[in-house]
Amino acid sequence: MKIGIVLYPTFGGSGVVATELGKELAQLDHQVHFITYSQPVRLDYFGKNIFYHEVSVLDYPLFDYLPYEINLSSKLVDVVKHEKLDLLHVHYAIPHASAAYMAKQILKKEGIDIPVITTLHGTDITLVGKDPSFEPVINFVMNESDALTAVSESLARDTYEHFKLEKKIDVIPNFIRIERYTEDKKNLRATIAQKGERVIMHISNFRPVKRVEDVVRVFAKVCEKIPSRMVFVGDGPERFKIETLCRELGVYSKCVFLGKIRSTEEVLASADLFLLTSETESFGLAALEAMAAKVPVISTNQGGLPEVNIDGETGFLCDVGDVDAMAEKTIHILEDDEVLARFRAGAFAQANRFSIQEILPQYLNLYRRVLGWDT
């Protein structure tokens, strides 16, 4: 198959999932064309089946807002036509699904029928898509997609609830490339923490939905009982506020801010526990990455997180904002080596249920169904 993958090239989970999917498809001898505005952060090699098409946006003084969607649609027409793609798989509905719809109509006029699969990732539905300024278009292009997938049962439910869908959503969970997390990693623990300290980690884009302030409050309670270090990975609009809160709570000297890191597996190998305190998460890929590194997770119980983090087995689920409960559960896991080892084993077993080997066939079966090749 010749597959076009449209994605955000950034550190967020949707870009990571889209890139890893494409790389695995290329390993299986499919031809994969990534189409976006810069080289995806996880596209760390080029092979015989991997191609990258950069969308450049024409700047013109009249434009206050760059017409990226139009440039993307034009690029999609060009790549589908000249690379003879079999299908387009777009990740994150905004603006990729509407750009693909426009390209599909243009190509239809030229006698080319290109199937479009839209994968919903979460904030494209729960935060942005359902806003009246996006809803009519997103509702329309979801219904016009040849297939629609969501990364969790929870996200599928949210989508049915907030939109007038005329089509079934296929739930295909996010996945993990386990070997990325099990290969020997240089242990950064000695550079991050002092001997005997536990390492607690948080990875996110530091947006309000992540409630990173709760991570700080949990850590401030935990480090009163457990010698520990807090490692923040990622960056975003809330980072300054978080650093300020660390100083206000007197824990700044025990915190390490590493910023954006391309390969989170390098740092996760040095963690003992992962905190994810989001208002909601359609899936929580960062939590699954932690589990692949044998790191138990304390997370909130919203959205798709209960489909990933199993309470009492891979970590614990707590109500949003309940920092007392999250601190208590964190201490429970970190204060005893045997308890920590048990949760590490549970986390790793769960990660293997979401391995790319388990999940990729679901995407391939969907592609064949959409192409009518499954007969």
What are the residues binding ligand GMT (CB under 6 A)? 12-14, 17, 92, 121-123, 126, 151, 174, 205, 209, 278, 280-285
CB of 152 to ligand GMT, least distance (A): 8
Q: Say how far apart CA 298 and CA 300 lie, in whole Å.
A: 7
CB of 48 to ligand GMT, least distance (A): 28
> Closer CB to ligand GMT, residue 36 or residue 174?
174
CB of 334 to ligand GMT, least distance (A): 25
**Phi first, then psi: what are they for 251, rounded to 5°?**
-115, 5
- 374, amino acid identity: D
CB-CB contact of 43 with 19 (8 Å): yes
- Max Cα separation, the chain? 68
Instruction: Choose among 38, 133, 50, 42: nearest CA to 95.
Output: 133
> Closer CB to ligand GMT, residue 12 or residue 95?
12
CB of 111 to ligand GMT, least distance (A): 34
> Closer CB to ligand GMT, residue 31 or residue 277?
277
CB of 245 to ligand GMT, least distance (A): 20
> Closer CB to ligand GMT, residue 115 or residue 284?
284
CB of 208 to ligand GMT, least distance (A): 10
CB of 342 to ligand GMT, least distance (A): 26
* Angle at which helices 239-248 and 212-222 cross, to 10°: 20
> Closer CB to ligand GMT, residue 12 or residue 115?
12
Scored b (16 or more CB within 10 A) or e, 24-36 reads bbbeeebbbbbbb
Cα distances (angstroms) measured from residue 337 to each of 88, 118, 190, 195, 311:
48, 44, 19, 15, 19
Which DSSP letter does residue 209 get?
A: G
Q: Say how far apart CA 39 and CA 19 lie, in whole Å.
A: 10
**Phi first, then psi: what are they for 209, rounded to 5°?**
-60, -20
Q: Say how far apart CA 102 and CA 82 lie, in whole Å.
A: 17
